[in-house]
Amino acid sequence: MNKYICKTCGVQYESSIDVPEQCLICTEGRQYVSSFGQSWTTLDNMQQSKEFINEILLEANGLYSIATKPNFAIGQTAYLIQTVGFNVLWDCIAYLDKQTIEYIDKLGGIQAVALSHPHYYSTQVEWAEAFDVPIYIHEDDKEWVMRPSDKIIFWSGDSLELHKGIVLHRLGGHFRGGAVLEWKDGNNQQGILLTGDVIRVVADRQWVSFMYSYPNFIPLPASKVQEISSLVKGLKFDRLYDAFHRIIKEDANESVQKSAKRYIEALSGTLFTT
């Protein structure tokens, strides 16, 4: 029996004798199957290959990024928020080893894991079991959990306070249960928003975008983008981190507002003169 990991999206499946027939995350319209075909690995194989390490970097006071080098699958960055007595792992990456666990233990361990959306579920259950903590996933994305576990808590409604000043908000859009994390005390009390790819920072770091599918370039409707920007407007943050280590360092809420306005103008045709 093995718990197979899809090499394209990094999501781990529940135990099986044979490899799964297909990856349900990758065969869905927001992702893709590699042009080389579907392939699988396991966490044991990844560890034994000694091909990977996790790089943990201090990003800001109490905020660490965690990314696998060289890149694996989607190549996202997870974040560890470190507060007194309560650390949160925001989003997840597939690779986990003893060195990573020891390093994070020195930072105070992990008390909760919270996910933005299914593309980053990766080996979330391995992480939750290693640190013996719950995983918070919005109930609207329940169908995308490929490795069920009693560690998973499906939350409902529009927001959930995980700990004082650390709040999950469901924005939807990219996925129905797509969530962001507002850390009100981060960045010297000015606030940090961690967005996964529910909101993505684009090449011009003063702007963001909102897509139904990023790899397949499928936009969201104007009404949804308007709804997301209205919800974000009420949140307390000056800095924003997405899942690809892109950062808006200041005035990030204004960036989201003006980006939503531009996006809606682009969809309606008023942004262009030709």
Least distance from C-beta 147 to Zn ion, angstroms? 13
Site string for Zn ion, 207-226 (x = CB under 5 A): --------------------
Looking at beta carbons only, is 26 or 110 nearer to Zn ion?
26
Using CB under 5 A, count the residues that bind Zn ion. Answer: 8
Out of 5, 23, 43, 46, point to the residue binding Zn ion (CB under 5 A). Answer: 23
Interaxial angle between packed helices 98-106 and 124-131, expressed in degrees from 0 to 180 and rounded to the nearest 10: 50
137 binds Zn ion (CB under 5 A): no
Token pair in block for residue 37: 């075909």
Closer of 8 and 195 to Zn ion (Cβ): 8
Q: Is 6 in the site for Zn ion (CB under 5 A)?
A: yes
**115 near Zn ion, rule: CB under 5 A:** no
Residue type, 26: C
For 19-30, b/e burial (b = at least 16 CB within 10 A) is: beeebbbbeeeb
Strands 192-194 and 239-241, by their bridges, are: parallel
Taking the C-alpha atoms of residue 203 and residue 64, their distance in angstroms, rounded to an integer, is 22
The distance of closest approach from Cβ of residue 58 to Zn ion in the complex, given in angstroms and rounded to an integer, is 26
Quick one: how far is CA 37 from the chain centroid?
A: 25
Q: Is 147 in the site for Zn ion (CB under 5 A)?
A: no
9 binds Zn ion (CB under 5 A): yes
Verify binding: residue 59, Zn ion, rule CB under 5 A: no
Cβ nearer to Zn ion, comparing 119 with 170: 119
Q: How many other CB atoms sit within 10 Å of the CB of residue 71?
A: 10
Asked if 91 is part of the footprint of Zn ion (rule: CB under 5 A), the reply reads no
Question: Is the CB of 13 or the CB of 64 nearer to Zn ion?
Answer: 13
Q: Does 242 bind Zn ion (CB under 5 A)?
A: no
Closest CA relative to residue 226, chosen from 257, 272, 189, 185: 257
Rounded distance, CA 43 to CA 220, Å? Answer: 34
Is residue 171 a contact point for Zn ion (CB under 5 A)? no
Of 52, 83, 84, 85, nearest to 66 by C-alpha is: 52
Interface residues with Zn ion (CB under 5 A) are 6, 8-9, 23, 25-26, 119, 197
